[in-house]
Amino acid sequence: MKNIQINHAQKGFTLIELMIVVAIIGILAAIAIPQYQDYIARSQMNRAYGEISALKTAAEESLMRGEALSGDLSSLGFPGSSLMSGTAINETGGEYTLSGTLGDDASVALTGIVVEIIRTPQGSWSCNIDSSANPGGWDASFVPTGCTNT
């Protein structure tokens, strides 16, 4: 008679191995998700800054023609943005401010933040980010290069 040996090799994973994998994935997600949210907020802030900055040429052309700037950014040809809940053009003593308030589809960390592109009477432009409306979610790393934060 022959001896038959049955091979009982392990097939699959044990419960403890699966729990370790789940724990590792949880740790990685806890690190990656906040970093990704910050990345989204920075990219949306740069997008909003770029959209408003693109209107500087139209504003200069209007001023060269002697037209007054007022109302909202649509008067300069701004088609609107899914990130901004409101836009405005303000003039104080020859200084013009093109501004957009973030809301709508913007990250929660950016809700209420105002992006301002300011033209001095001498014709130079600067950028200011007014973060006073959302101090809890705001991070200084969201400020686009070349802008100041107030």
Query: Is residue 5 assigned to a domain?
Result: no
Query: Is residue 1 assigned to a domain?
Result: no
Query: Is residue 6 assigned to a domain?
Result: no
User: What are the E-state strand segments in the chain?
Assistant: 84-92, 95-102, 114-119, 125-130, 147-149
Strand 84-92 vs strand 125-130: parallel, antiparallel, or unpaired? Answer: unpaired
Counting the structural domains of the chain, the total is: 1
pLDDT digits (tens, 9 = 90+) for 89-109: 998 988 999 999 998 888 888
Query: Is residue 110 assigned to a domain?
Result: yes
Query: Is residue 52 assigned to a domain?
Result: yes
Q: List the domain range (segments joined by +) for residue 61.
A: 15-149
pLDDT bin (cut points 50, 70, 90) of residue 135 is confident
CATH number at residue 90: 3.30.700.10
Neighbours of 75 (CB within 10 A): 17
Query: Is residue 119 assigned to a domain?
Result: yes
pLDDT digits (tens, 9 = 90+) for 8-61: 666 778 899 899 999 999 999 999 999 999 999 999 999 999 999 999 999 999
Query: Is residue 9 assigned to a domain?
Result: no
This prediction has a pTM of 0.80
Q: Give strand pairing partners of 115.
A: 100, 129
Map tokens 């990130």 to a residue.
83
